[in-house]
Structure 1
């Protein structure tokens, strides 16, 4: 399907939230993706069989809200078996970068184009939707996604089953400080959770056809109910988000060698120098990332010996 001609309102929000709250606060959405043929277990199993292994992460669904990623219990099944046995596997799985498949890429861009048009824009570019990526989640009943944050904006859509999705306001940095945001951006997404955060949470009870908007770096946790769950995250990065992420990657690297940095924006000249150095180096390395083996090597060099933790299963 051609995203330039598709006009159906795939994602909808009530009370003008796409204008009033976007992109600053979470809000509920409705969508038309439940039952889509690309989002069924048989089709997801086909996708799991073809995706590079380093784009698939899975583990036991019996995780804690404050989960150390180095000690998550594993599941002794291969990715396709996880999908085929999801009702009883006791597993949580994410298929990353599904946008690398042309069919899924078209689904993602069509969906975001419907949002762009609902906000009065004629194109994805005009609406600021760039670096569009997709992540498919398949979870067994009673599974937990630990407390974490993501370094992109996200429309999260529920396809099958029920989920509780709790999003927490971190505008003042008291739930996750700048060092934690750096770490989540550059290394691992998980954050420590404390019950005192609860009053600052917005909770969404998601059934098929429901969803929510998750703002950039707002911490959240997710739980499935008594049925297996299929969900999808439709993400994008604006130019400003890419700039913040790049700065936090550099700052995280410098913090690891004992040189903690000021948050992005506090030293514009120094920020510009960091960006120039990082992006020049990335341009030289990027061709190597076409190889899965080299991606593993580069992650280990940049992030340490545990960077490929999700490939242990």
Structure 2
């Protein structure tokens, strides 16, 4: 281990969890990001004024754990107002892809680099931390994030307020089926929740400076307590995660034109062919994604007419 590992990491975990459980199991973490100047409400409001509108999603925080995505109540405020009035707005908001801002990208990279070094690696790439992305969450008191899963690995850090993060093991697909995983990743993230899932739950009770590691595709739901909340998801995608994600998206597109598909991994040779074709096409259209209007069109083509559900009038 080099001299850089002597520096106290921004994120740390007890009981050797970074070595024993990562990346297969969730575990509690501690961090030093609470109070960071980029993570205050004032600075987040500025970021909300700068991000493209399709990288900001918000709605009422008064929703069910098993929320019907077609019946999510909205909040009649603009993004900056939501942040500035979060204590009373009754809202839930996420600012996506904050790594597009150089300052936030540096924060994400520095944080994950401290984890890489704590695990004995000299760089993010050596540690497998590729395609870094950041998501900032701002929630009013007593708000709920419905049951869902994410398409990346995630260090979730609590910056301000009290939050309960409840996560479920789904390795045997008893909680969320392969079909529902694909739909959650490609249509709308919300999943159906049943109280019978409770025995499989691991709950993290978090305050400023706390957090947890969320493995790829582990379903979870989140609620705040009596104060507004600021949280951040520091995410990355390994090569294997990107491969599986791409197959889910292409399978969804093929299913949309009436061609049934098996989940990734069940037909390795066919998966390889589908992946090559999908990546060739997406590479060709990547330059078009610089335009907000074109991104909306491409999402509708790939994911269906409700793909822009979080944009008013889309």
TM-score by length of 1: 0.97
Give the deviation of 1:8 after TM superposition.
4.1
1:6–1:110 Cα contact (<8 Å) kept: no
Q: Describe how 1:196-275 pairs up with structure 2 within 5 A.
A: 196-275=196-275
Most deviating of 81-90 and 65-74:
65-74
Distance 2:237 2:147 in 1: 21
Distance 2:284 2:304 in 1: 20
Q: Is the partner of 2:191 in helix, strand or coil?
A: coil
Give the deviation of 1:260 after TM superposition.
2.2
Q: Is the partner of 2:93 in helix, strand or coil?
A: strand
Q: Is the partner of 1:310 in helix, strand or coil?
A: coil
- Equivalenced residues, count: 310
2:5–2:120 Cα contact (<8 Å) kept: no
Give the deviation of 1:65 after TM superposition.
0.6
The equivalent residue for 2:91 is 91
What whole-Å deviation, never above 9, does each CA across 1:104-157 have from its counterpart, x for those lacking one?
000000000011011110000000000000000000000000000000000000
What whole-Å deviation, never above 9, does each CA across 1:229-270 have from its counterpart, x for those lacking one?
000000000000000001111111222233222221221110
2:187–2:304 Cα contact (<8 Å) kept: no
- Unaligned residue ranges in structure 1 (runs of 5+): none
Give the deviation of 1:6 after TM superposition.
11
1:285 equivalenced with 2:281 (yes/no): no
Distance 2:5 2:15 in 1: 27
Distance 1:16 1:193 in 2: 32
Most deviating of 265-274 and 5-14:
5-14
Q: Is the partner of 2:157 in helix, strand or coil?
A: strand
Distance 2:300 2:47 in 1: 26
Distance 1:301 1:258 in 2: 15
Distance 1:62 1:160 in 2: 20
1:131–1:236 Cα contact (<8 Å) kept: yes
The equivalent residue for 1:34 is 34
CA RMSD of aligned residues (A): 1.3
Distance 1:124 1:17 in 2: 19
CA separation of 1:198 and 1:5: change in aligned 2, threshold 3 A = closer
The equivalent residue for 1:47 is 47
1:90–1:140 Cα contact (<8 Å) kept: yes
Most deviating of 200-209 and 5-14:
5-14
Give the deviation of 1:174 after TM superposition.
1.0
- Unaligned residue ranges in structure 2 (runs of 5+): none
Distance 2:285 2:233 in 1: 28
